[in-house]
Structure formats: structure tokens, C-alpha cells
Amino acid sequence: MAAQRVPMLQWLIQKGFLSADQANEATKMSQQTNSPIDKVIVQLGFAGEREVLQGKAQEQGLGFADLDRMTIDSSALNVVPERIVKNHSVIPVRKDGQTLYVAMKNSSNIAAIDDLRLASGCRVVPVLAVPGAIEDAIKKYYSASNAAPVDNTPAAAAAPTNTNFAKIMADAGVKQGSDFEEIGTREDEAAADAAPIIKLASAIIQQAITDRASDIHVEPGARAIRVRYRIDGVLMEAMTVPKNLMAPLISRYKIMADMNIAERRIPQDGRIEVRHGQKEIDLRVSSIPTPFGEKIVMRILDKSSVLLGLDSIGFTEENQLKIEELVSQPNGMFLCTGPTGSGKTTTQYSVLNILNTIGVNIITAEDPIEYQLNGIAQVQMNRKAGLTFATALRAYLRQDPDIIMVGEMRDLETAEIAIESSLTGHMVLSTLHTNDAPSATLRMIDMGVEPYLIAATIVGVLAQRLGRRIDSANKEPYEVTQMDLRRFGFNVTDPEALVTLYRGVPAENNRMTGYKGRTGFHELMTMNAELAELVVRRAPLNDLKEAAKSNGMKELREDGLVKVLSGITTPEEVMRVVFTAGY
């Protein structure tokens, strides 16, 4: 695996930090004095230490941490003892799952990397930073007055533990100290209406939207409240809030979501509408009781995201054309499958946008309605009032619909009415929870649907997953052998031949992960005579898969490979979201 990188001197010249003459002069002096050329450049004043380290970082395939400007992740600080940080003059800046990114002045300090790995239990990835900035950060985050990252005492847990929290508090105009203490001693209802809590609750939401989060988790603990954001499908700790703010903060969110703040023993659901710049954002709110208080999870729904075309959410041109052809038929059933959070709803809404014209009547049955679309009759299910998917579908058949979308087929009654709708001249869109496209037919058979009805109505099934995209502004090429890609379905002609792929370079604007945004991996099965016959005969899953592949279906891993070879994502990301045990 040989990385292709630009030498530091060449990079500095390309960026305009160094002239060719200065590079030659620095090279000669380096040779004469036997000094590292990076130090010579700084000593001669040709370029600053920051620019030289940036050049070294890209030459070595590492990230560069601008500690004077970036926000350091408290979850990274929490896993490394102060003594290791000070002994090696390093500072952890970001934790992504079991990977810890650490700012260092020397990436080849093996002793430091080993100590960090043993102390944190994480894979350590070094990033370069200016030595003076590292020392300043150590003083800032690990001084006696800022011992929260390594102190687990109750007193420490009551204090802010990272700069994200401090920034949000400052942006919200909330003062630390007496305001918090006063709020903590009031009744929850009154405290929830206090100005500092209102600002804090709003600031947490606004920061999550700014960070492109899809979900906000507010999780009470024994000593503090942990706030995490799900960004590009991965949960990351955003801040730790003092324990005495738990009750008023939770109550504030419940008031905003129109929940019963006096009821703390059962789960509740609600909705919040906020504005972020020129955008209208909906938040779907859920609360559940835990031993330390109610946990709040808010799903962030950006209405503008569903107005994207199919080409903007990761479909290959081939799959996009097939889907547009399938859903343009006058009747039939088109299903989207995949786990929760795989983008099924966004795909269904994108399809509805294609179909939503003045000449068609579209009705949806949803639980809940995630996005409101103009020109479409959307109906929210209400089980308490007796409005279920099945009862709604019966009523829809008397509403002269052309297209019906059912949020999810959960039971036999709903499936049978959806099939009846497609048989009587309607296009039906719906979702199922299955791991791949061929399994959708078996799932419906398990529900009790007759196989001949499935074969007669389904026109196509789309399975999908969402994976992280490489940050296009910070990526580099590297090479692997064809053999390394065999498990993704790569056609190996020469096992030792090299293939050029891309990977992200950790940077501040991608939260030191190398990824930014997400793309879809898709598996589209279209029904034909052979597949219909297999469904009617209740053929096993492997037979269905082989027939679907011979009919042109590309498996999820193969679609992932297309994105890997195009430099959109990485093999590791495809493995993370697509591969399962026994795949």
C-alpha cells in the first residue's frame, strides 16, 4: 500500500509559502549544517512553523491540528491521564469510536503512541501540531483549575468539561455559577422557563444543526448529563452538562415538544419546529425513563434534504434510470428495505417528488410524518383514535388515488390492502425492514401474504445503507492490490496488480475523521418472470439472489465498490455498514 504524497518543499512552493530560490538556499544550508530542513526554513524566516508543519503533515499522510482555532473533544481528553499528556507533550483532540486522534510535534514518537494506546484502549492516530500550541492546550485543559477531564469526583462532574460546552454557553449568553445554582433549586416547571435554560436548550440544538448532526442524544448519568451528536451516522460526544441542570433542561425540551412534563414514568413522543438561518427544521423528539432521569433523543429533519433528486443521494445513473422507470408504471408495488436510519424515507420522498405532478393524486399514510410536502395529502396515523395503516388504506381507495405511500408494512392486514390497492390500478410505495432486496419477498410470505400475490404486484425492491463520504477537500490517493478488493466483488485479473483508491486526511473541518457527509449503497432487484416463478414456488433466499443477480442486480457490496473506485468512500466504510456475519 504505497501512498502518493507531495514532498514538503514542493507543497510549500505550490501553496506560495516558499519560493524556488528560498527552497534551494534552505536545502544548501541544511546540508552544510546537517540540520533538518524544516527547522532551517523556519530559522531563515522563509515560512512560519505552522505552514512548515502543514507541509510535513501532508507529506507524511497525516492530519494537521490547528489547536488555536479548533474545538477539542472532551471524550478524547477523558481517556488519557494527565501524566501521559505532560510527559510526552501531546494532547488528544478527537475520539471517533475506538480511534483516538492525538496532536503531536513528532509523529514517530513510538513511546508516546504506545503509552496512549495502552491508557486509552484505542487505536492512536497522530496528527501534527505546533509545539507551542500543544503546550498552551495542555495548560488550558489540564491545569489544576481544569482537571475535569481526568477527575471523576462529584465536584468535577458538576463543571463544564470541554470547549464545546463553554462555546455554547457563551453563545447562549449564559453565565456560569449563580445562575446554574439558582436554577437547580427551583421547581422543574419554573426552571424550564428561566432564560439561561431556554438559551442553553436552543444553543444545543443550533450547534447540532451547524455540525450537520442527524440526531441529538441528551443522556442523564449519575454525575452529569452527556450530550452526543450523531454526525455522518456515528455518535460523537459533544459536551457534558452539569447534573443540576438535568431536570430543567429535560423539562424545557418536553415543553418545546408539547409533552407532559409531569409524566416521567412512560415514554413520550413530540415534535419541535425551529429555524436555522433560512431553513425550517423539524425535530422528532422521543423521551424514555432511565434510572438517572429521562433520556431525550431528537431526530433532526431538514425539509430541504428531501427535495434532492435521486442523483444527489448516491444513486448510480443505472439504478436511477431503473427506479424512475419502475415507479412511472400505472400500478404495482415498489418497496424500500433496510435498517432504521438507512435513508429509506428520504428515498421514498425523493421518488414522490418525481411523481408529484398536477395530473396525479398522491396520498400517504405515515407514522410519523417526517416531512411535509406540498401537493400531497399526508395522513398521520393515530392508533389511539383507531387510525392505523390498514384503516387508512381502506379509506384511501375511496379517495381516487393514483399513488399511495405506506410508511411501513408492519402486519398482514396492511400488506394485503396494499396489494389489493396495487392490483386495482394504483402504484404503491412502502418500506420493510430486511437486510437485502430478495429477502423482502420472504418477509412478506412470513407475514402470511400469498406468494402469487407478491409475484403479481411487486415491480421492484430497493435495499440500501448509508455510509460516510470521504472529505473531498482533504483526501489523498493510495494503492492496494486487486486481491484486497476481492471480497467486494472486484474482478481480479492479476492478484498483485495495484489499484488506486482514496482516503480522507484528518482535518478540523471533518472533525479529524477524514469523512464529511454520507452517500448511499444500493441493491435494486427488479421483478421478472424467473423471479416471479421462484417466489410462487417459495424458493430459498440463495436461489432468489442468484436469479436477481442474473437479472442485473448489483449487491450492496458491489455498489459500495463502485463508490470506492470512484473515490467517494473507503473499503473500511463499506465493510462497516454493509458486511454482516456470514456475508
Whether the CB-CB separation of 577 and 467 falls below 8 Å is answered with: yes
Residue 411 CA to its chain's centroid (Å): 30
Calculate the alpha carbon distances from 563 to 209, 238, 337, 466, 501 in Å.
27, 30, 20, 12, 10
Instruction: Give the separation between CA 469 and CA 564, rounded to whole angstroms.
Output: 10
How far apart (Å, rounded) are the C-alpha atoms in residues 183 and 252? 12
Other C-beta atoms closer than 10 Å to the C-beta of 86 total 14
Return the C-alpha cell found at 106: 513528532
Sheet architecture: strand order including 377-380: 377-380, 362-366, 403-406, 427-432, 332-337, 458-470, 515-526
Which cell numbers in the block locate residue 253? 425540551
Q: Hey, is 171 helix, strand or coil?
A: helix
* Cα distance between residue 436 and residue 403, in whole Å: 25
According to DSSP, the β-strands at 427-432 and 403-406 are parallel
Whether residue 438 has a cis bond before it, omega within 30° of 0: no
Question: What is the distance, to the nearest Å, from the Cα of residue 236 to the centroid of all Cα atoms in its chain?
Answer: 10
CA distance linking residue 490 with residue 512, whole number of Å = 30
* Cβ burial, residue 120 (10 Å; 0-12/13-18/19+): buried
The amino acid sitting at 32 is Q
CA distance 337 to 236: 27
Is residue 394 helix, strand or coil? helix
Give dist(CA 458, CA 436) in Å, integer. Answer: 15
Q: Write down the pTM of the prediction.
A: 0.70
Compute the chain's Rg from CA coordinates: 28
Do 534 and 528 touch, CB atoms closer than 8 A?
no
- For the chain, how many residues are written? 583
Which residue, chain included where needed, has cell 423539524? 282
Calpha distance 235→485 (Å, rounded): 28
DSSP H helical segments within 173-243, as ranges?
178-185, 188-192, 195-210
Residue 299: CB atoms within 10 A of its CB come to 18
Per the rule left: phi > 0, alpha: psi between -120 and 50, beta: everything else, 322 is alpha
Q: How far apart are CA 44 and CA 162, in angstroms?
A: 38
- Reading the block at residue 225, the C-alpha cell is 448529563
Residues of the chain with pLDDT under 50: 1-3, 144-163, 175-186
Q: Rounded distance, CA 116 to CA 122, Å? A: 8
CA nearest to 204, candidates 165, 178, 147: 165
CA 133 and chain centroid, separation: 30
Closest to 469 measured CA to CA, from 500, 502, 439? 502
Q: What is the pLDDT of residue 389?
A: 85
Instruction: Tell me the DSSP string of 537-551.
Output: TT--HHHHHHHHHHT
Q: What are the E-state strand segments in 505-574?
A: 515-526
What amino acid occupies position 64?
A: F
Tell me the three cell numbers of residue 350: 425523493
Contact in structure between 485 and 535 (CB atoms under 8 Å): no
Name the residue with cell 408529484.
356
Q: Is residue 553 a contact partner of residue 525, using CB atoms and an 8 Å limit?
A: yes
Query: Quick one: angle between helices 556-565 and 571-578, nearest 10?
Result: 160
What are 297-353's pLDDT values in tens digits?
A: 999 987 666 556 677 778 988 999 999 999 999 999 999 999 888 888 889 888 988
Phi-psi region of 7 (alpha: psi -120 to 50; beta: other; left: phi over 0): beta
Q: How far apart are CA 543 and CA 453, in angstroms?
A: 19
Q: What is the 3-state secondary structure (H, E, C) of 214-242?
A: EEEEEEECCCEEEEEEEECCEEEEEEEEE
The whole-number pLDDT of residue 310 equals: 73
| Predicted local confidence at residue 82, as pLDDT | 85
